[in-house]
Every structure is written in structure tokens, then in C-alpha cells.
Structure 1
Amino acid sequence: MAGGEARVLAVDVGAGTLDVLVAEQNQRPENWPKLVVPSRSAAVARQIGAATAERRAVVFRGPTMGGGADSRAMKAHVAAGLPFFATAPAALTFDDDLAAVGAAGVQVLDEAEAEREVQRDAVDVRSGDVDLGALAKALACLAVPTAVTAAAVAAQDHGFSPMASNRILRFRTWERAVAEHRPLSSLFWRAESIPTLLTRLRAAANCLAPLGVPILAGDTGPAALLGA
């Protein structure tokens, strides 16, 4: 970019908030722009809740993201006797086992079927841990340059484990790192090198891919330890 100034967009995906930092080479750290906004899980839950109140079907589509508030909203929607449709990647937000998702009342569709339901007046709810378009608009409104030279994202990823507790998988990943005397930095990856089991982290990094810059990704646990 002009003048060779480095600017890094860092995003911490939490259960309740999305914490954003823009690190600028020519600014003092205390002056780096920071934003704390509702997490995408919380925003999606609000969208689903509004559809429930309007007694409308929901189509949930896009990449896998973190569960929590969105999962609870889905269950409340189904409990209200309303249709809830999801494409497979989005459905994995609720459980790594699509059979379990179906048993919870979610109808898993392909993209063409999902589009047809939207045309029939279902509420189109988009998944994804980072809404890059909305984030770019927010920064632009604050006169913060949105052209960056690199990006980083952290999210809590238990790992893909449809047949057993994914929390156990997450802890075993850390246990192996400790047993092998690996540094904390080994638990961070370039976007293209994120292990395939870390489906949420891969999806979150892919949300930032339109930036066209190198992306570093890691679990929030090691990120907090490294920052401390």
C-alpha cells in the first residue's frame, strides 16, 4: 500500500462480542482503532428470534460458525412449531453430526432448495463468524482505512468430532502440543494451513479471504496465553 505502511485487522470472535483491533504501523498502540460489537452468534439469534415472532420459516445458510445464542434461538423456533431450514455447512454450527441436527428439527437442504424456500418468504439468515461487509462499513463510517496488509482471527474451535465430545478433542490438541514441547506459536496457522479438523476456524478465516491479504488464525485460548 502507499508508503509501505503496515496495517493489520485483528478480530477476536467471542460468544457475546466481536472484538476488533486495527493495528497501524504509524500510530501509537493506544491510538489504534478498536471496536466491540455484538457477536455474529448474538446477531443471528436476534434475526431468528424476529422470524419466530413473525411466525415465518427460517433459512440458515453460509459457512459453519460458533454455536451458543444462535443454537438456542433455533431450538426456540422449532419448539414454536415453525420450519427451520439450513444448508449443510450452516447446520454444522449446531452439531458436528447432521443426523443429530435433523433430529433437533432442522431440515437440511442444498443451496438450490434453500433459495426456493427464501423465494417462498422464508427469512434468509446468513451464517458466518465475521460479517466483513458490515465491519468494513463500520470502519469506513469512522474514517478508519479499510485497506490492510494482513489480518488475524481468533475463535474458540473445539474441532470436528461427530462421534465424541469435541471439547475432548480440543483439549487433546493442546495436550499433544505440551507433550511435544511445542511453542504456543505452533498453535497458529496461515489460513491455507489450518488443520481440516478445525472447521470453525477455517470458516472464520475464509470470511476474511476477500481482503486478499495473508491471514493468521488461532484458537482464542492460546491467543490469550500468548497475549498475556
Structure 2
Amino acid sequence: MEVFMIDIGKGTQDLLYSDENLNTENWVKAILPSPTTMLAEKVKKIEENLRIDGFIMGGGPVKKAILEHLKKGFKVTISERAARTIRDDIEEVKRLGIEIVDKVENPNFFLRDLGFELYEKFLKLAGKEFNPDIFAVACQDHGFVKGQSDRITRFKYFEERLKETRDPHDFFFVQETGFFSRFDSILQQLRDGGYKGFVMDSKVASVCGILSYAKEIGIKEFIGLDIGNGHTLGVSIKEGEICGLFEHHTRYLTPEKLKELVEKLASATLTFEEVFNDNGHGAAVFEKVNPEKVLIAGPNRNLFRKYGEYAYPGGDVMITGCIGLYEVAKRKMI
């Protein structure tokens, strides 16, 4: 079984292609600028009105670049499907001065998270064909319910899913959700490309990667942290199952505050209100744990370095999410 894994973040997209004949450390991999970063640079070079088509994708840099283009005096027209890259609420997009149409005639800019031609070229450079049996994608999606805070929408998903299962490998989608617009867009792109695959939240994919590393070093009870550019997710794990979870915005955290959150997570005293009222997403804690270690991943992992240790699944902290995706594919898709 060949699996192509891609973990799409705000700054980078991390690629990994499995080969059952090789050790994980020898699989073809790459760390590239994220799709939104690359597309933002393209927008900056365009000196004409934008006619945008495509899919819903991660906003961030490309959204900012499109709005800056508008401020320069250029007109921006976008298809309704792609418009939710700017804002989930179409009316808000219109209020920004962007024209939304059913069909864009002669588009000069295309939005999408998945670049199939790029992946084929990447594998060709490595002397391999791009022909995965499973296409596994991780990205982040807050979810959208009109009139509801996206912090609540996102965390509600975690709470409801945890009532059904505490196995992080179950947190994936093969069918459209109806409220995670970016996940649904990814699944549509996979179908259009003729690929069998799934999508899951990048933070949970990282948890699965950390769990893989914990098993490798013989740890059964631990705290896992993914400290990202935008969000920090903490989980308490015992015997492969989630005992508690919290998510916060990284910019509001200090090493001392994060240490306190981790201690309360372990003792099962952390509450939803404590995290949410501090501008985080929330917490859901079921039982206490006695962690053998605190294992850390994510681009801002140095924030907690003196209180834990880095996880190296597959020998590389940068592919933590990809290894998590592989574990899900192995367990759930074969």
C-alpha cells in the first residue's frame, strides 16, 4: 500500500510518500511553503483585476493578499464556491467590496489547497511515480454555523466526537460534513482527481503522530502538545485513548500559563470556561492521568521545551502530522 500524506499548515505543507520496502526515515519527504503562502505571492505580482475561481481553501496569507489587491483599486470578482476562502459568511465577503458570481468568465486566478501537478513533479524528481492507494490530508477548519462563534463550532465537534470515541485515529472524514467547508472542499478535490482518501484535523493528526512516537519509546501515559503558529492543542493520553483535551490560541500562551494548563489537564481539573474565557477554544476532560512524559510537536514547540521533550515520529518532528495520517490510513483505510 502506498500512501501520500500532506499536512497543510499556515506556513508550510509537509509531504510524505510511503514505501513499504523502506524504513520510514528513508521515505520521500519535503517541507514546502503552504499553498496559501505560494498563492499570496502570485497575487502580489498581478497588476490587473482579479477573476477568481476554484475551491474553498485555507485563507490566511492569500486572503490578506486579495484584500490588499482590492485596496490598490483593482476589482475582485470571485465564484461563490471559492468566496468562502475569504469569509465563511458570503454576505461578509460582499461587504468587503468583492463581487460574487455563480460562474467566473475567463478566470485568471485559481484557489485550491491540493496541487496534484506539484506532487507528481515532486515524486518524479525523486524517481518515483505518483500513484498512491490512499491520499491522506490534514488541515485546519474551524467549521461554520451562521450566528455561532467559530471557536464554539470547532470545539463542539471535539466534544461530540469524544462522546462517541476517545481513539484519535477515529477523527477523520471520508464524506462531506456540511459544516466543515474546507474539509468538504478537500474531499471534493480528491474525488475530482480520482483519488481514494480522507481528511482530518491537522492538530489531531499530530496527536496520532505523537502517539506513534510514544509507542515507539514505550510510553503509555503522557501529555501530548502540538504548539502551532495559530493554535495549541493539548491532550492527555492513557493506553492509546484521549482522557482530556484543550485548545488555545498560541499567542495568548506563556510557558508558565501552558504549564498550568498541562498540570490541570493531567489532574482533570481543567474546565471549558477557564480556557474559553481566556480567548481559547475550550477543554473537555474525562479523567486524570499520571503522565510519564510531556511530548511536544509543532513549529512553536520551543515554548515548552524546558517542561517536556520533543517527539520525533519517523525521526523528524516536522512530519509528525504526516506520520499520524499514515497511522490512520493503516488502521482505518485498508
What TM-score bracket applies, with the shorter chain setting the length? Answer: 0.7 to 0.9
Q: What's 1:84 paired with?
A: 76
Q: Distance in 2 between matches of 1:26 and 1:211?
A: 27
Q: Secondary structure at the match of 1:115?
A: coil
Q: What's 1:152 paired with?
A: 136
Letter in 2 for 1:186: D
Q: What's 2:167 paired with?
A: 183
Match of residue 195, structure 1, among 177, 180, 203 = 177
Cα pair 2:78 2:99 within 8 Å, conserved: yes
Work out the number of aligned pairs and report it: 210
Q: What's 2:153 paired with?
A: 169
Structure label with greater radius of gyration: 2
Q: Distance in 2 between matches of 1:16 and 1:69?
A: 9
Q: Within 5 A, what are the aligned runs for 1:76-115?
A: 76-111=68-103, 114-115=104-105
Cα pair 2:138 2:200 within 8 Å, conserved: yes
Output the TM-score relative to the length of structure 2. Answer: 0.60
- When residues 141 and 180 of structure 1 are mapped into structure 2, their CA distance, relative to the original with a 3 A threshold, is closer
Match of residue 9, structure 1, among 4, 7, 18 = 4
Give the C-alpha shift of residue 63 in structure 1. 0.8
Q: Distance in 1 between matches of 2:20 and 2:54?
A: 34
Cα pair 1:65 1:200 within 8 Å, conserved: yes
Q: Distance in 2 between matches of 1:151 and 1:14?
A: 17
Q: What's 1:30 paired with?
A: 25
Query: Residue 48 in 1 paired to residue 38 in 2?
Result: no
Q: Distance in 1 between matches of 2:195 and 2:67?
A: 38
Q: Distance in 1 between matches of 2:149 and 2:109?
A: 28
- When residues 185 and 76 of structure 1 are mapped into structure 2, their CA distance, relative to the original with a 3 A threshold, is same
Match of residue 119, structure 2, among 125, 131, 135 = 135
Give the C-alpha shift of residue 210 in structure 1. 4.9
Q: Distance in 1 between matches of 2:189 and 2:156?
A: 27
Q: Secondary structure at the match of 2:136?
A: strand
Q: Distance in 2 between matches of 1:173 and 1:43?
A: 30
Give the C-alpha shift of residue 105 in structure 1. 1.5
Cα pair 1:97 1:163 within 8 Å, conserved: no
Match of residue 226, structure 1, among 208, 215, 218 = 208
Q: Distance in 2 between matches of 1:106 and 1:170?
A: 27
- When residues 110 and 210 of structure 1 are mapped into structure 2, their CA distance, relative to the original with a 3 A threshold, is closer
Output the TM-score relative to the length of structure 1. Answer: 0.86
Give the C-alpha shift of residue 95 in structure 1. 0.8
Q: Distance in 2 between matches of 1:91 and 1:194?
A: 18
Letter in 1 for 2:177: P
Cα pair 1:95 1:101 within 8 Å, conserved: yes
Q: Within 5 A, what are the aligned runs for 1:55-66?
A: 56-66=48-58
Structure 2 gap segments, 5+ residues each: 211-334
User: Looking at both structures, which has the greater relative contact order when contacts are Cα pairs under 8 Å and sequence separation is at least 6?
Assistant: 1
Cα pair 1:194 1:217 within 8 Å, conserved: no
Write out per-residue CA displacement over residues 165-195 of structure 1, whole angstroms, 9 at most, x where no aligned residue: 22320111112223445322231122xx242
Q: Distance in 2 between matches of 1:27 and 1:181?
A: 33
- When residues 86 and 71 of structure 1 are mapped into structure 2, their CA distance, relative to the original with a 3 A threshold, is same
Cα pair 1:17 1:37 within 8 Å, conserved: yes
Percent identity, please: 28
Q: Indicate the RMSD between aligned Cα atoms, in angstroms.
A: 1.6
- When residues 210 and 92 of structure 1 are mapped into structure 2, their CA distance, relative to the original with a 3 A threshold, is closer
Q: What's 2:331 paired with?
A: none
Give the C-alpha shift of residue 93 in structure 1. 0.5
